[in-house]
Amino acid sequence: MAKQMHDTPMLDQLESGPWPSFVTGLKRLAKDNDMMVDLLGQLETSYETRKGYWKGGTVGVIGYGGGIIPRFTELKGDDGKALFPAAAEFHTLRIMPPPGMHYDTNTIRKMCDIWEKYGSGLIAFHGQSGDIMFQGCSTDNVQPAFDELNEMGFDLGGAGPAVRTGMSCVGAARCENSCVDEGRTMRMLVNNALDDMHRPALPYKFKYKVSGCPNDCMNSVQRADLATIGTWRDDMKVDQEEVKKFVATRGRKYTIDNVITRCPTKALSLNDDDTLSVDNPSCVRCMHCINVMNKALSPGDDKGVTLLCGGKRTLKIGDLLGTVIVPFMKLETDEDFETLEELATEILDFFAENALEHERTGEMVERIGLVNFLEGVGLEIDPNMIERPRMNPYVRMDGWDEEAAKWAEHKTAQ
Amino acid sequence: MSEPRMQIESGVPEMEAYLHPVLKKNYGQWAWHERPRPGVLHHVAKSGDSIWTVRAGTQRQMDLYTIRKLMDIADEFAEGYVRFTIRSNIEYMVSEESKVQPLIDKLGSEGFPIGGTGNSVSMISHTQGWLHCDIPGTDASGAVKALMDDLYDEFVKEEMPNRVRITTSCCQINCGGQGDIAINIQHTKPPKIDHDQVANVCERPSVVARCPVAAIRPAMVNGKPSLEVDEKKCICCGACFPPCPPMQINDPEHSKFAIWVGGKNSNARSKPTLHKLVAAGVPNNPPRWPEVSAVVKQILAAYKADARDWERIGEWADRIGWPKFFEKTGLPFTKYHIDNWRGSRNNLNTSAHIRF
């Protein structure tokens, strides 16, 4: 029998309205879970005072240094005792889902049973890093809860200055735009770095995200230290019969206004017979026309990935988007995957050795310059890496002849 | 004493065991898709196989009774497999079209909205807030619940010019990420320092190093080693608070919301962009944050009325120009919109391109 519920007049106002209510869910759990009764008490207090009352600490599982988010209440009376003692410890286990966040119902039911036994019964599908968040666990129950989840085949994700849980889009499993095996790529990148995930010792967090095409549904350019984005380098594919059908159905004006003139590099032209001409060398693989006419247009056959490095949010120098470090690489054969795995290891090692404390890769590259970074990890320069050449003369260029010779050599080698 | 159980460091599990059989069979072999109605996707494989996906909104922070209910629906009305989107929508895959409507009806009767596809306002991606974070300026789940109640119609319909992706963050670190509209805490006062605690709790040199504007320096206060903040330099970002909790940045009154627009991760048409400040000083007003909803709805209404097909919010603003953006949304333009951080000249107009 659970303890008596606290009054929650503020939270109660989040039970009305058409969107599913997490408060109703918390209250249902509280009917037979004392931790949830007191969690509601503390949360209601936060709503009243507009203050948070959790502090971190050190809670973990045997063998790992991270992956648990410890939370201890700071809401205490004058006697130092927790005002909501049943929720005085409210830790989270971050558990990595399968790529693409696919599940069969039995797996999720088993997870629910484990969490009913050891935790509060509250699970987030999913946190912002892509973990399943098992929220609300006492210190004593963290280990047994992890053990059972681990026996199911699931492992802890990342937290702190460590490789973080990766994300990949639905991709090849259900999307015609997939240019790469996203799940295999993400899984390889993360599983290659598990030591740096589970024993946090990096300067700061490091994130891998994988999107199967330049629509970048995983926001990798904005959020990943190493963004892997599917693309292709031959001509995009055009089914002219389907183009004609599209024009016949939607009309020429719609096609011109919403496809032809929307092309960022003016690579499209609608012919008099309602077929489509594509200037493929001008195409930047933005995906817009393919998104709009997905039955008529599709990515080419010579698929691969573009790699970008350094995306992150505000702390400390401001928001950064990732920038190109590999314009194109194939990612089909086992050897291709090994090449990427080796490169990712180089980048992670370089970051571990050269970043300052609490510095992300984007900030490190900003500080040392892209060329130093590329040389450090063994990558060739490429004009696809820049928006435009430098606009100021403040650079020492007495190595020009050698560099120009390298370019000539590079051209001959191609 | 028995040996402790050691972890199996298995990492990310293989996907295959969790994939719907039709997805497994046609992996990497999809041909095209259509959206028969909002919230439903129909994908066709090169083999001729079809899969219908029904997408429903969830509250993300789910009690296990809700999760079990969703699984019951998957077993009874779908085919025993689900997946989640990056925005916490649940997706049910079925191999027969005849199963779509009963599934929609069941989800609807259990209170789960069907939508979030195409040109809709999808579920808001959010952070933990007061429920679980150690440094939050506000709640996340509550603000999102209140806002999604208000935007419900835009989730279940596809009536926006293009997709709208909203994010919220309960501090300026912005774990919520970039969005077409981002609703983020913005502190407006320097941290309040508990000098009795600093030396006990904080590693002072790393706190000094954390400050983006070098406004923090070591100091002796009341005979104790502590830290002081040059309040003229301080930008109130809160970066010092996580490594040094006695430097309290959250303030019930002075931690406000700022609203940003035009973040875009897709490469479609224009290159990816970061979001831009459009409104600030919005009060942090639980439990339903009506002032936040009002500004978001103001922006969405102007966008919906004025943007052309396929323009995301940032692309719309780029076409009509920022003077028109502020005019059409009715939001005030202030000196705070003019960037003065490093690289700020890139955000100034270096031309005679002026709109009248």
The residue ranges of every structural domain in chain A are 9-151, 167-232+304-413, 237-298
pLDDT at A339: 98
Given a cut of 90, whether residue B198 has pLDDT beyond it is yes
Gap from B326 CA to chain A (nearest CA, Å): 23
The DSSP result for A285-298, as a single string, is ---HHHHHTTTTEE
pLDDT at B1: 60
Q: How many domains does chain B have?
A: 3
The beta-carbon neighbor of B341 closest among A198, A318, A357 is A318
CA dist A223 → A125, A211, B174, B184 (Å)? 19, 12, 11, 16
Whether residues B169 and B28 share a domain: the answer is no
At the top level of CATH, which class does the domain A237-298 belong to? Answer: alpha beta
B310 contact A CB<8A: yes
Whether residues B46 and B182 share a domain: the answer is no
Whether residues B166 and B218 share a domain: the answer is no
The DSSP result for B214-246, as a single string, is --EEEEEETTEEEEEE-TTT-----TTTTT-TT
**CATH number of the domain within which B199 lies:** 3.30.70.20
Separation CA A257–CA A261 (nearest Å): 6
User: What letter does residue A89 receive in the DSSP assignment?
Assistant: B
Within 8 A by CB and 6+ apart from A280, the residues are A234, A235, A236, A267
At the top level of CATH, which class does the domain A9-151 belong to? Answer: alpha beta
Structural element, H or E, at residue A208? strand A208-211
User: What letter does residue B331 receive in the DSSP assignment?
Assistant: P
Q: Is the ipTM beyond the 0.90 threshold?
A: yes
> In the structure encoding, which two tokens stand for residue B58, read together?
């969830």
Within 8 A by CB and 6+ apart from B306, the residues are B316, B320, B328
Whether residues B163 and B64 share a domain: the answer is no
Domains A9-151 and A237-298 share a fold: yes
Residue A125 CA, chain-centre distance (Å), reads 14
* Residue of B110, B186, B265 to mutate when probing chain A, most A C-beta within 10 A: B265
pLDDT at A318: 86
Instruction: Name chain A contacts of B74, Cβ cutoff 8 Å.
Output: 105
A167-232+304-413 classified as CATH 2.40.50.140: no
Whether residues B150 and B229 share a domain: the answer is no
| B-proximal residues of A, 356-375, CB under 8 Å | 357-358
Residue A265 CA, chain-centre distance (Å), reads 28
pLDDT at A90: 98
Whether residues B38 and B172 share a domain: the answer is no
Matching residue, tokens 């502020």: B326
Residue pair A309/A184 in contact (Cβ under 8 Å)? The answer is no
Is B346 a domain residue? no
Whether residues B135 and B207 share a domain: the answer is no
Mean pLDDT computed over B13-33: 98
The DSSP result for A164-184, as a single string, is PPPEE-SGGGT-TT--S-HHH
Whether residues B105 and B73 share a domain: the answer is yes
Whether residues B290 and B172 share a domain: the answer is yes
* Residue of A50, A54, A113 to mutate when probing chain B, most B C-beta within 10 A: A50
Whether residues B262 and B321 share a domain: the answer is yes
Is B201 a domain residue? yes
The beta-carbon neighbor of B7 closest among A16, A150, A216 is A150
Beta bridge partners of A95: A132, A156
Q: Quick check: B272 and A190 CB within 8 A?
A: no
The pLDDT tens digits for B168-192 are 999 988 888 899 999 999 999 999 9
User: What is the count of residue pairs from A and B with beta carbons less than 8 Å apart?
Assistant: 351
Separation CA B231–CA A94 (nearest Å): 38
Structural element, H or E, at residue B62? strand B61-63
Separation CA B335–CA B87 (nearest Å): 34
The pLDDT tens digits for B35-79 are 999 999 999 999 999 999 999 999 999 999 999 999 999 999 999
Is B145 a domain residue? yes
Within 8 A by CB and 6+ apart from A366, the residues are A310, A317, A320
Whether residues B155 and B256 share a domain: the answer is yes
Q: Quick check: B59 and A121 CB within 8 A?
A: no
Residue A369's CB is within 10 A of a number of other CB atoms, namely 10
Is B333 a domain residue? yes
The beta-carbon neighbor of B287 closest among A11, A121, A313 is A11
Q: What is the mean pLDDT of each run of 10 residues along chain A (414 residues)?
A: 90 98 98 96 98 95 96 96 97 98 98 98 96 98 98 97 98 98 98 98 97 97 97 98 98 98 98 98 98 97 98 89 98 98 98 96 97 97 97 95 95 88
pLDDT at A1: 53
Residue A19: what residue type?
A: W
Provide the domain limits for residue B304.
Answer: 129-188+252-337
Instruction: Name chain A contacts of B253, Cβ cutoff 8 Å.
Output: 50
Gap from A105 CA to chain B (nearest CA, Å): 6
**CATH number of the domain within which B69 lies:** 3.30.70.3340
Whether residues B180 and B328 share a domain: the answer is yes
Is B5 a domain residue? no
| A-proximal residues of B, 22-51, CB under 8 Å | 23-24, 27-28, 30-34, 43, 51
Is B211 a domain residue? yes
Is B228 a domain residue? yes
Task: Kindly provide the residue ranges of all beta strands, DSSP E only, lying in A314-384, ordered along the sequence.
Answer: 323-329
B142 contact A CB<8A: yes
Is B89 a domain residue? yes
User: DSSP H helical segments within B289-338, as ranges?
Assistant: 290-306, 313-320, 322-329
Q: Please tell me which residue of chain A has the smallest CA distance to B285.
A: A50
A86 contact B CB<8A: no
Separation CA A148–CA B167 (nearest Å): 34
